[in-house]
Structure 1
């Protein structure tokens, strides 16, 4: 085991020991006046693009339930400032550095800032996150939700109950439903990145540079994913061939990852950028996004484009695109022809 792996292993085990006694934040509260909830902290100390986008529905839900509140975020890495800088509901974004020991002063400062503020409500997004539970425990707040509040029996007939973006919403609703508020069956918010009109227009202009016919609508592919989630080149090449055959009246472009690699050998116009907001603005102007489970898939959903997520390893009920016409497809259970049929059936207006 490499030294850094050993350090991370020890850190995880230590955090597990420290958080083993931290239980649910539900206390014996008879009533809460929602008008008194003015400062809310959402805790998700994870640096990945997808995981940070997946808190956007919770931000919307908190803003709906407490429209006069200001929301702080406790996260890891710099992405959150990019993703939510245009969101009026978000007030302060407190960050931990991605590599704790390389920037230990900022790491300590991040924790100190969490402790120094006073909140009315703190919400830990993922119950199994040790650092999330510690932050929720450390934060000074009248009410705390640690992430394991929702009763399985209550959720049994509710949609997307296992989804990582929806579970914290149900936890929040459970907390307040127990106090007499009717919340459980409200419409679920979707992933969202707030793009300005200027950004959307700029994205449209960028897209025009990559399409052959601006009278046709566009399908965007993202062929990369991390680790075993990434489909082989042969699979993608067959997929592209079938896609061109079935949807020949659409432009097809590829959105490239930060690694600037292509599983289809750059065989269609390929767009590359490190500007996440520009990428989102481009995606907002295409008709359909298809890609494996990845942060880019979640960015497409947040940008509002109809999204088809391809799954072979990760759990669809936890990570698949939801809402509108978005869907996940388990590619281990369908042939290529059936996959095309699934895409076609889920998007009837593409016919």
Structure 2
């Protein structure tokens, strides 16, 4: 670990220690029954700029929009991806990006916090209870109702999928709403969703048809991941060879990362783009996505393509893809034959190409 990384790790630890109790004081709304139609301006705080982490808040955004149908949602985030991810969400209003390097953009950094304090929000929601900046944003907002992301100590949510990073914020939020007199929803938590339009989907089909000029169905792989999540070239080489032998009746294409590298040495037809919606649209036209835990894995899941996530170090229960026959695979618990049994089951079920209605 570099010196700067150690400093950042120390800084984050200090900030978490200073902010962990913010919002934990008991808030008593008495017998107040909140009129859902009056909740019109909502701030959702997830000050993170990674593709996967932003996609993983889409179920919460859909939950909030379904609960408060008259609302508009602002997102307190980092980076420039949020407007791209949420552009087809009707409830989405704007993003408030926190500079990645505050000391180099001090004026912009201050402006962000001032804007949060000035905006007339009805409700502010922190997604990650361990986020210092998220807790502070909710605290500094002038919203009447403030949810810091915590589950009350005396509350237990008996859900087998509660640990999932896309789901526990929704469960916690439902619990909070019940204290405001709003009936707790029991509906199934929404899928991670990029909300592709029909024109985007068809453009993805066109791009795929240009890449593979036959009528066979297509399996999509992504061989890259960051850090120690990235499986070796040797691992991928063996896997790709077996995949080709097993699925001769399918095309196999590789989605390339922004770094434009391939763990299989560019042996497969490959697709490269810096446009995440275009990448998602291409994946949406394939039958199966296979790749290690990464933002692109979550992107594949978000376009309703059956996704097999290969996990080697990440917490599978926290990050595995779900819905649409998707599954997380612990590579240390599966044999090569086990992989193909899973893939066969997914492919035999077929896939339903459907576009979600934006919320």
- The reply to whether TM is greater than 0.5 is yes
Cα root mean square deviation, aligned: 2.0
Aligned-partner Cα distance in 2 for 1:153–1:240 = 47
Q: CA-to-partner distance for each residue in 1:290-318, whole Å, 9 max, x for gaps?
A: 11000001111111211111111111111
Q: CA-to-partner distance for each residue in 1:38-81, whole Å, 9 max, x for gaps?
A: 11110000111100111111111111101111111000011111
* C-alpha deviation, 1:85, in angstroms: 2.0
Structure 2 alignment gaps of length 5 or more: 352-359
Matched, 1:19 2:19: yes
- Give the equivalent residue in structure 2 for 1:270: 270
- Give the equivalent residue in structure 1 for 2:233: 233
- Give the equivalent residue in structure 2 for 1:190: 191
TM-score (norm 1): 0.93
* C-alpha deviation, 1:3, in angstroms: 5.9
Which residues of 2 match residues 234-253 of structure 1 at below 5 A? 234-253=234-253
Q: CA-to-partner distance for each residue in 1:160-197, whole Å, 9 max, x for gaps?
A: 21111111111111112344544342121111112222
Aligned-partner Cα distance in 2 for 1:231–1:64 = 39
SS in 1 for 2:109: helix
Aligned-partner Cα distance in 1 for 2:175–2:322 = 21
SS in 2 for 1:236: helix
- Give the equivalent residue in structure 2 for 1:109: 111
Q: Is the 8 A contact 2:287 2:347 kept in 1?
A: no
- Give the equivalent residue in structure 2 for 1:149: 151
- Give the equivalent residue in structure 1 for 2:345: 345
Q: Is the 8 A contact 1:26 1:145 kept in 2?
A: no
SS in 2 for 1:118: coil
- Give the equivalent residue in structure 2 for 1:45: 47
Q: Is the 8 A contact 2:124 2:138 kept in 1?
A: yes
- Give the equivalent residue in structure 1 for 2:137: 135
Q: Is the 8 A contact 1:163 1:318 kept in 2?
A: yes
Aligned-partner Cα distance in 1 for 2:134–2:107 = 19
- Give the equivalent residue in structure 1 for 2:357: none
* C-alpha deviation, 1:260, in angstroms: 0.5
SS in 2 for 1:310: strand
Aligned-partner Cα distance in 1 for 2:334–2:326 = 18
- Give the equivalent residue in structure 2 for 1:329: 329
* C-alpha deviation, 1:278, in angstroms: 0.9
- Give the equivalent residue in structure 1 for 2:356: none
- Give the equivalent residue in structure 1 for 2:161: 160
Q: CA-to-partner distance for each residue in 1:200-246, whole Å, 9 max, x for gaps?
A: 22111111121141x21111100000011111111111111221222
SS in 1 for 2:122: strand
Aligned-partner Cα distance in 2 for 1:20–1:178 = 21
- Give the equivalent residue in structure 1 for 2:202: 201
Structure 1 alignment gaps of length 5 or more: none
- Give the equivalent residue in structure 2 for 1:287: 287
| Shift in alpha-carbon separation, 1:26–1:337, aligned structure 2, 3 A | farther
Q: How many residues are aligned here?
A: 349
